[in-house]
Amino acid sequence: MHTFTPGPDRWKLGFKDAVLENFKFLRRYGYRLVRADVTFVRYEMPWYSFKRRFYVNVYHARGGYDLGVEVGPRDDDCEQATLISMLRCANAPEVEAWRVGDTLLRGETREAVQTLVPKMAELVRRYADPFLLGDPEAFRTLKKMNREAYAVWEEEMHRNAPKRYQATLAWEAKDFDRVVSIYESFLKDLSDTEKERLAEAKRELAARATNWSDLGG
């Protein structure tokens, strides 16, 4: 996730400073700042605080503009908790409204970053307490939920396999009307790539309609 080199102007979005300001509360848990870059800030729990040393990553994807938070133990194969998974474990109502981690929070402008980072911090403060404290039961619950979610995803992928194949053929043939028609028949089960293709197909159709109108068609 953090393998790309950020553009020279990414500092203008103010991500690092926004994180340092809004995630100060992590100090109360004993976390210390160990890294602060333009797109990535990391806090760690000192080795003597727990049997296992925990970390918190707050990132602004270098290859894109997705914002996110990760919590987990170092040197362990334990599940890593993302913001969306922590909200789900807490049965937080914001899951449906925010769609964090599925479509992800995107901060493409300074205004967006300065708005979304405080909101992420508030969600962590409100719902991530068991993970920040390294509660083993919280991570066991997370692992169980992830297994169940994967099983559902696998079932959905299999159920819509024929439609996905037909949509791919239509996409390759640039038959955007058919792409839209097929994808809209199973909207709730679309992957991120399929959502992007659906959006692009709609843009292409809208552009064609505009061009046709300009020609007096």
pLDDT tens string 17-60:
999 999 999 999 999 999 999 999 999 987 655 556 899 999 99
Q: Are 93 and 185 in contact (CB under 8 A)?
A: no
Q: How many C-beta neighbours within 10 Å does residue 89 have? A: 19
Phi, psi for residue 45 in degrees, rounded to 5 = -85, 130
Instruction: State phi, psi for 46 to the nearest 5 degrees.
Output: -55, 150
Residues 6+ apart with CB under 8 A from 209: none
What is the DSSP secondary structure assignment for residue 50, as one 8-state letter? S
Pick the closest to residue 55 from 65, 38, 41, 68 (CA basis). Answer: 41
How much is the pLDDT for 130? 94
pLDDT at 215 (0 to 100):
58
CA pair distance 62, 49, nearest whole angstrom: 31
Q: Beta-strand (E) ranges in 83-208?
A: 105-106
Q: What pLDDT score was predicted for residue 50?
A: 54
**For residue 164, which amino acid is it?**
R
Ranges of residues in the chain with a pLDDT under 50 are 1-3, 100-103
Structure tokens at 167: 């949509």
Predicted TM-score of the model (pTM): 0.68
Q: Can you give the pLDDT at residue 74?
A: 79
pLDDT of residue 84: 87
Angstrom distance (rounded) from CA 10 to CA 12: 5
Cα–Cα dist 21/33, whole Å: 12
Q: What secondary structure letter does DSSP report for 31? A: -
Q: What is the pLDDT of residue 17?
A: 97
Residue 19 · residue 42 · CB < 8 Å? no
